[in-house]
Each structure stands twice: as structure tokens, then as C-alpha cells.
Amino acid sequence: MNTPLAERIRPQNLEDYISQQHLVGPQGSLTQQIKQGILPSLLFWGPPGVGKTTLAQIIAQTADRPFFTLSAINSGVKEVREVIEKAKKQDGLFTTKNPILFIDEIHRFSKSQQDSLLGAVERGIITLIGATTENPSFEVIPALLSRCQVYTLNPFSQDDLKELLKRAQEKDEYLSKKSIEIKEYDALFRASGGDARKLLNIFELLVSNSTEDPVVITNALVSQQIQSNPARYDKTGEQHYDIISAFIKSIRGSDPNAAVYWLARMIEGGEDVKFIARRLIISASEDIGLANPTALILANNTFQAVSTVGLPEARIILSQCVIYLATSAKSNASYMAINKAQQQVKQTGDLPIPLHLRNAPTKLMKDLGYGKSYKYAHDYKNNFIEEEFLPDALQGKKFYDPGENTRESSNLKFLKQRWGNKYNY
């Protein structure tokens, strides 16, 4: 019984595939594509153990496609080119069914390694399916990203994990012969961190080590036999999301001591310094914004600096930025303004652009009134003349509500001087 339990009960079709109903359920965005076998290149983004590899295999089997697989951990340009050559040889045997190349942890591929895929993907020699635990917007080169559809796989719910354990007891040749009672699930879920593969490994270990009949799974048994978390920080599991949440909330709450502590937890746990720096860029705009626009400049420079320097010195740069952001004035006015504006667009759709604001590059457009009566602000005193810039249906609508801080108080004063009552809040 050397094959891991997760592999032994790996589903072979969509009917047995647990979770991700938004992708492969009856109304899933991938369901019909899979059944019809008409597939673009895909990127599956989600935490470990949520079925990315399994879904890729099911797609290949359902679509009756040749299936090649590589792991970015131990593969390079040479291995990619070898697979592409094999795929080319399939041409003629599978003229309408080009092979699928599945690359696990594609975010670990360098730019040159990702570049080596472009030609084959572009010409349809292969259909690429990449799996990543990192945001593909940051870790996949734009040229490759533009040729792929990105689908997000969600973490398993507790009901999903319970269903997985039930299936293991019913379907696995070894476990189905055992009498097993799961009295408590909490410790199992904590120990696995929502990773289905890890959950099944723990479950099998508990059953295999037990001499009881029936085997009774309790929180106490799990705590006794399984270390709660041997690593101080699981950068691909539950702690990854919980600690970054605590980190950002500490900055938002203006507590530099807590913020630096959570920063240290991530650094000591081996977190990617670029991931931390990206979160600081977001925080600088979302939580500080116009109260201190320099924060965004510093955060962006921090990302550039840690990308160049690396650890251990990058920790100093990150600490400097974290303390600066935590002790800065805060405003979420920009964040709220774009949220309100987007909501307005969703509600009212494509409202007509006022004629005086339209571009008039041709005589016909000028004759139709495009650009007519537009007032050029620089022709007036203080480079300002009162004019309407919103669609007619939204005149007077406010999206930006200045925060209560020194810099935005100055912004509000400026707006009131220019617009008068229009900017009375």
C-alpha cells in the first residue's frame, strides 16, 4: 500500500469531483467546454490541495486528449521543448485534439522558461494548463497570461472535506474494510489547513496507527498523534492568509509594533518578500491613500528594493516601510470612491457622454456638435471654469468624500473654493 490515499481515491470524472461547482457544476463556466472538448489554454489559481491537478487530468480524459505533465520544480526549458516535440509528433494522429501540457507550480518557471511555451501555445501545438498557488497576474509573464483563461479554485468548505473523508471510507480498498467513526472534525481540519491531500494523509495515518476496533477519531487523538503545525508559518496554507490579514489590519490600525511582529512571523516562515511588498503597495493606496500620497511611492520603491536586494537585508527595507505606513495618517476615500463609481456604472450602464466633452477629429463630428462649447480650463483665471463633466443623468453625483486628515482637508478647501456648494459634504 505504497500509493498515497489521495492518489488511490483521486476522482476520474466530473461526477466524482468534489467542490468547485462554480467551474464544473451544472452551470459551471468550464463544464460545457470540457464536455465539448473545446478548450483554451488555462491557468488554475488556488491554494494547495483543492484539486487543480485532478481537474486537469479529468479534462484530458473527458476530452480524450493526450496528456503530458511537468513540474516547474524540476523541469526547465529543455524538458519543455522535449514535450513540445512529442506533442508535434502527435499531429496526424490527433488532428483535432491537440495534446494537453499540464505544468504544476507554473509560477516557479522563470521568464525564459515561460517564454519557451509561447510559440506552442500560440500555434495550438499544445493546450497549456498551468497550476499555481500564486497570483498569476504577478507570477506569469503578460504574453503567456494573455493567451490563457484564468480560473480560481476556492478552498474546500468543511462540508467538502467531510464528503472527501466519507468517500475515502467507502471507496478505498483498505479503509473500506475498517470500522471507522469520526466523532470530531475540528482538529483534523486545523491540522490539514484545508488541504485535501494533507487531510487524507493524516486520516490514513491515524487509521493505520490505531489498534482499536472501531477506530474512533477525536480531537484528542489528532492532537496526540499529529503535530499541530511543525512549521512556524505555512506560507501555502491557512496561516498564510490569517497572518497577512493580521499584518494588514495592524497597519490599518496604526500599530507599528504589531505590524512588525507579523512581518517577522512571515520572514521567519520563509514568505516571499515580493508578496509582502505587494501587499504593502495595496495597503498604501487602500488604507492611506490621499491622506499621505508619499506612502504609495515609498511602498512601490520598497517592492523594487527588496526585489533587487533580497534577504536578509530586505527585512530592514520592509520594516522601514511597514513602520512608515503604520504611523501614517489614514484615508480610504480613494478606495470608497472607485467602489461607488463602479457600482454606479453597473446600475446605469453606458450613459451618453456629454457632447461638449466628446472628441471631434472629423468635420462631421464637429457639425454634430462634438466638442462644441467646451471651455478650456487654462484660458480662465486660476485655470478653472465651472463646467459639467458627468453624464446628464448623474449631475451632482458625489463619489469622492474627502477623509478627515490634514492633506484631504486641504483638498476639500480647494474643491469648495472652485465649486462652492457643489462640494459641501
Q: What is the pLDDT of residue 131?
A: 94
What percentage of the chain exceeds 90 in pLDDT?
34
pLDDT digits (tens, 9 = 90+) for 52-81: 999 999 999 888 888 999 988 888 888 888
Nearest to 423 by CA among 380, 384, 393, 371: 384
- Domain ranges, ordered by start, for the chain: 20-152, 158-225, 238-326, 350-423
Query: For 65-69, 81-85, 306-310, 406-410, which range has the lowest pLDDT when averaged over its residues?
Result: 406-410
Asked if residues 140 and 130 have their Cβ atoms less than 8 Å apart, the reply is yes
pLDDT digits (tens, 9 = 90+) for 10-48: 998 888 898 898 998 888 888 888 877 778 999 999 888
Q: How many Å apart are CA 45 and CA 237, to the nearest integer?
A: 14
CB atoms closer than 10 angstroms to residue 109: 26
Q: What is the pLDDT of residue 234?
A: 53
* 108-114: average pLDDT: 88
Q: What is the pLDDT of residue 369?
A: 76
**CATH domain 158-225 topology:** Helicase, Ruva Protein; domain 3 (1.10.8)
What is the three-class DSSP state of 27? coil
Question: Pseudo-torsion of CA 62, 67, 73, 74, nearest 10°?
Answer: 160
Q: How many Å apart are CA 85 and CA 183, to the nearest integer?
A: 53
**CATH domain 20-152 topology:** Rossmann fold (3.40.50)
Kindly tell me if the per-residue pLDDT of 260 is higher than 90: yes
Q: How many Å apart are CA 386 and CA 391, to the nearest integer?
A: 15
Q: What is the pLDDT of residue 232?
A: 44
* 85-110: average pLDDT: 77
Q: What is the pLDDT of residue 230?
A: 42
Q: What number of helices (H) and strands (E) belong to the chain?
A: 20, 7
C-alpha cell at 320: 522601514
C-alpha cell at 258: 504589531
pTM of the model: 0.57
Q: How many Å apart are CA 349 and CA 166, to the nearest integer?
A: 47
* 117-122: average pLDDT: 91
Q: What is the pLDDT of residue 94?
A: 44
pLDDT digits (tens, 9 = 90+) for 360-391: 777 777 777 777 888 888 877 888 878 887 88
Q: What is the pLDDT of residue 378?
A: 82
Q: What is the DSSP letter of 185?
A: -
pLDDT digits (tens, 9 = 90+) for 190-217: 888 788 988 998 999 899 888 888 889 9
- Domain 238-326: top CATH class: mainly alpha
Say which residue the cell 490579514 belongs to.
245
The single-letter code of the amino acid at 292 is N
Higher pLDDT, residue 227 or 255: 255
